[in-house]
Amino acid sequence: MNMSNATNRTDADESGPEQPEARVGLRYTLSQVKRDPTALAGLAVIAFMTLVAFIAFVDGVLFDFLSDFTFFANLGIEQYLLANTFWVNPVVDGTGQILRPPVYMTNQLYPDQPGTWAHPLGTDHRGRDVLIRLFYGTRIAITVGIVATGIAMVLGMLVGAVAGYYGGWIDDALMRGSETLYAIPFLILVIAFMTAFGRNLTFAMIGVGIATIPTFARLIRSRVLSVREEDYIEAARAAGVRDRDIILRHVIPNSFAPILVQATLQVGVNILIIAGLSFLGYGAQPPTPSWGQMLSNSRQYMLPNPWFSIWPGIAILITVVGFNLIGDGLRDALDPRINN
């Protein structure tokens, strides 16, 4: 209690008398998030996952780049450069024992041979190292989560902001249209979309993005309805600013806070959804590693090696929880009623 008071006082002193600390803006929001340990934990998880995903991504790009040169191709470089260079165990189909248990553990197949550090999390049904596949699967999870959410956020914001700003028949048309999307069961919508356009990861992201447009459209519309009545919008109109610029520069930035919170939570949800799609065979196609697909494959080996299904499940869980924690933290930071 005393400590937190002291902290507050120091903050106030530092900000100086003439420029009171704003209760809006990125810096303030971040300072609020920093005081929230659970949000910080979420941030740490996401930062870690993103770092892993980034390394895996660079790995992929590097391979694409190097494999264009005959010199490297002749050396016999293979995909998953990093793993193949620094890890003794191959990632590709292979040679290893299948369905090995994790280190120090045993399973039905190997009752007398506990797992070794060679495969800390065991191997899958083709003898590939689970840890390495989880590592490269992060790339897909994070990318699809963020890209699908980004698509939904951008399109949803435009639809909702235009609908809310103009009102009348434009509002009716856009919102009824997006409610039609809501009315169709989510997975069926995405699967139908992918069946029509292509059964790969790109269309999975676009499909999920489009299917979640209504969430964002409704959210921002409700904010825009109050923002558009503000005097500064009227002032901009009276100064001859175009409607397009009013929506993009004045309406959307002022309606953005709840969208940011929703987007953070939605990333977690979308990771789950796309893992679900991969499980059904509608996500990343083999041999590209993805968590959902690993889960799907592990289903048949639940009894001989249950560890195979536990690890991708834990990876999904941690990532989704991370995004949820940071989303909750942001919501608290951006909600003036919760602020003291």
List residues near other proteins by CB under 8 A. 19-20, 22, 24-25, 167-168, 230-232, 234-242, 245, 249-250, 253-254
In the complex, the smallest distance separating the C-beta of residue 171 from other proteins, rounded to whole angstroms, is 11
CA 57/CA 142 separation, integer angstroms: 11
Give least dist CB 15 to other proteins, A: 11
Decide whether 115 or 164 has the Cβ nearer to other proteins: 164
Query: How near is the Cβ of 22 to other proteins at its closest, in Å?
Result: 5
Torsion of CA 305, 52, 128, 98, to 10 degrees: -20
CB of 238 to other proteins, least distance (A): 4
* Class of residue 254 by CB neighbours under 10 A (exposed 0-12, middle 13-18, buried 19+): middle
* Residue whose CB is less far from other proteins, 192 or 241: 241
Nearest to 275 by CA among 116, 77, 143: 143
Distance CA(91)–CA(150), nearest Å, equals: 31
Question: Rounded CA gap, 151 and 267, in Å?
Answer: 11
Tell whether the torsion through CA atoms of 117, 317, 293 and 46 is positive or negative: negative
Token couple for 332 = 């608290």
20 or 76: CB nearest other proteins: 20
Indicate the residue among 24 and 302 with the shorter CB distance to other proteins: 24
The residue among 199 and 237 lying less far from other proteins, judged by its C-beta, is 237
Which residue, 3 or 238, is less far from other proteins as judged by CB? 238
C-beta of 223: minimal distance to other proteins in Å?
A: 13
Written as six digits, the tokens of 63 are: 């391979």
Distance from C-alpha of 297 to C-alpha of 278, rounded to nearest angstrom? 10
Q: Residue 157 Cβ, how far from other proteins at the closest point, in Å?
A: 15
Q: Map 54-79 to HEC letters.
A: HHHHHHHHHHHHHCCCHHHHHHCCCC
- As measured in angstroms, the least distance from the Cβ of 224 to other proteins is 14
CB of 156 to other proteins, least distance (A): 20
Output 3 or 26, the one with its CB closest to other proteins. Answer: 26
Residue matched to tokens 């709840």: 258
Residue with Cβ nearer other proteins (17 or 76): 17
Q: Express the helix, strand and coil content of the chain in percent, nearest 5 each.
A: 70, 0, 30
Question: In whole angstroms, what is the distance from residue 64 CA to residue 289 CA?
Answer: 17
Using omega within 30 degrees of 0 as the cis cutoff, is the peptide bond preceding 287 cis? yes
Contact of 150 with 210, CB cutoff 8 Å: no
